[in-house]
Structure 1
Amino acid sequence: MKKRIISMGVLLVFSFGVTACGNDSSEKDTKNTASASDTKKEDAKNDGVVARQKYSLNWSDDWKGLKTGITDVSIAKMEKSAMDELGESGEGVIGVKFILNNTAKIDFNTYPDQATLLVDNQQVDASMMGSDSIGGEILAGAKKEGVVAFVIPKLKDVKSIKKLRLKWSANYETSNYEDDSTKDYDITLDLK
């Protein structure tokens, strides 16, 4: 039940329009720009959202045929009562939309739904209960997409967040010990 409520909150945050796309890059520690879409307070109605900001991105990486993309980041400042209802202590939620596409002939394991986020000097882990189940094994030829949610302890203003740093890992099984079968993603997303 809790996962359903958090997922609904994240979906509400993502259900509002996007205006433009940013730059494309695929290197570790890459900075990317995004365009903002502001949703007015009156649009939030009674969903517990005080204010929200959505950014459209075009970040992507291709590691040995595991194509990973981030298309949207949504930030929502929540009413205390809404967070209490979710059983969370925090002032907001950040949702990051991932698209995973395995174009290789091997199976991968990837864990964006276990990512760590750094925002405004706050380090938070992904909310397993609030995130879509996109992590784990992704078979050759499979495609997955979903939102990874992060509960933010302190959030003054949704427009004050200008960048996010995300870390997660991916790997595949191999009997070749010289093969580089693990990748640690460490990316910075600029939000503008």
Structure 2
Amino acid sequence: MDLFLSFIGFFLFIGFIVGLIFLFIKRTRKFGKITVPLCFLASIFFFYLGGQFSDTTPKNRAIESGVGDNTNIQSYEEEKNKVSSENNRVNELSDDDSTVVHEVNWSEKENDTTFKIDRVGIVKDEMESGAEGAIAVHFTINNESDKDITTFPDQGTLLTNTKEQIDASLSLSEDIGGEIMSGAKKEGYVLYPVKKLSGPNEIKSVRIKWDYWPDKNVTSNVKEFDINLNW
């Protein structure tokens, strides 16, 4: 039961991420405003229920009783296999969906400032600019140095595996760029409108470039991030 509830919570969390992406698209913005809070609260609720049930699964009760009931253990395994099958079915359906979200694990520390990218979302939908979709990259920047820094991921450039070079949309991206004071942490999505996109699974990798100044008062020490993300 705890695995099943946790699965529901994870699925709702994916819905929360998709809702965030929908907020940046005019046609789906109204839907996103409803989806984001509902999925967020519901995912927390189901994760909590999953934790409550984790100590009362059939397998744990059998071990605590010292009997080792094979029927209880078998039921536990059947439940686990059922959840695994449902996970696979959801993954298969997502291949035909208009939105996919990839979990990535990129981070780099420069001068006591940590830059991290943990999610990349791709949505197939017509935008106001005429683009056929968008790529949303989730950044986290944690300035633990003793200096104020300046960085502009929301003014960077992205290259797709389909050879389309895209400038970040400053107006559609969240407030992630500019000055970040010593001790501050900022996170948000940077949006890259894709002119030609047959489907979200067409994007299999991206290359991202943006500038970074370790000391905002020294303009000559600019550094450039140039990273590749694959999934």
Same fold (TM over 0.5): yes
Q: Which residue of 2 aligns with 1:108?
A: 149
Offset of 1:117 from its aligned partner? 0.6
Q: How far off its partner does 1:5 sit?
A: 5.2
The residue number in structure 2 matching 1:56 is 103
Contact 2:179 2:216 in 1 (8 A): no
Asked if the contact 1:99–1:144 (Cα under 8 Å) also holds between the matched residues in 2, the reply is: yes
The runs of 5 or more residues in structure 2 that have no matched partner are 1-21, 41-89
Deviation at 1:160, TM superposition (A): 2.1
Which structure ranks higher in relative contact order (CA pairs < 8 Å, sequence separation ≥ 6)? 1
Task: Report the equivalent of 2:45.
Answer: none
CA distance in structure 2 between the aligned counterparts of 1:125 and 1:99, rounded to whole angstroms: 19
SS at structure 2 position matched to 1:156: coil
| Mapped contact 1:114–1:126 kept (Cα < 8 A) | yes
Distance in 1 separating the partners of 2:25 and 2:185? 20
Structure 1, residues 144-184: CA drift from partner, whole Å, max 9, x if none?
A: 00000011000112112111000001002466x9xx83210
Distance 1:54 1:38, change over 3 A: farther
* Aligned length in residues: 152
TM-score where L is the length of structure 2: 0.58
SS at match of 2:191: strand
Aligned position for 1:76: 123
Runs of 5+ consecutive residues of structure 1 not aligned to the other structure: 18-36, 42-49
Whether the 8 Å contact between 2:169 and 2:193 is mirrored in structure 1 is yes
Question: What's the CA shift for 1:131?
Answer: 0.3
Q: Which residue of 1 aligns with 2:24?
A: 6
Q: Does 1:152 align with 2:194?
A: yes
> Given the superposition, is the C-alpha separation of residues 38 and 110 from structure 1 closer, same or farther in structure 2, using an over 3 Å criterion?
farther
Q: Which residue of 2 aligns with 1:47?
A: none
1:182 alignment partner in structure 2: 222
Cα distance, 1:135 vs. partner?
A: 0.2
Once residues 174 and 39 of structure 1 are traced to their aligned partners in structure 2, the CA distance between those partners, rounded to angstroms, is 51
Q: 1:169 aligns with which of 211, 220, 224?
A: 211
Q: State whether residues 133 and 146 of structure 1, in contact with CA within 8 Å, keep that contact through their aligned partners in structure 2.
A: yes
Q: Which has the larger radius of gyration?
A: 2
Matching residue of 2:83: none
**C-alpha contact (below 8 Å) 1:174/1:181 kept by paired residues:** no
Letter in 1 for 2:194: I
Compare the two structures and name the one with the higher helix fraction. Answer: 2
Question: Identity over aligned residues, as a percent?
Answer: 34
- Give the TM-score, by structure 1 length: 0.69
| C-alpha RMSD of matched pairs (Å) | 3.1
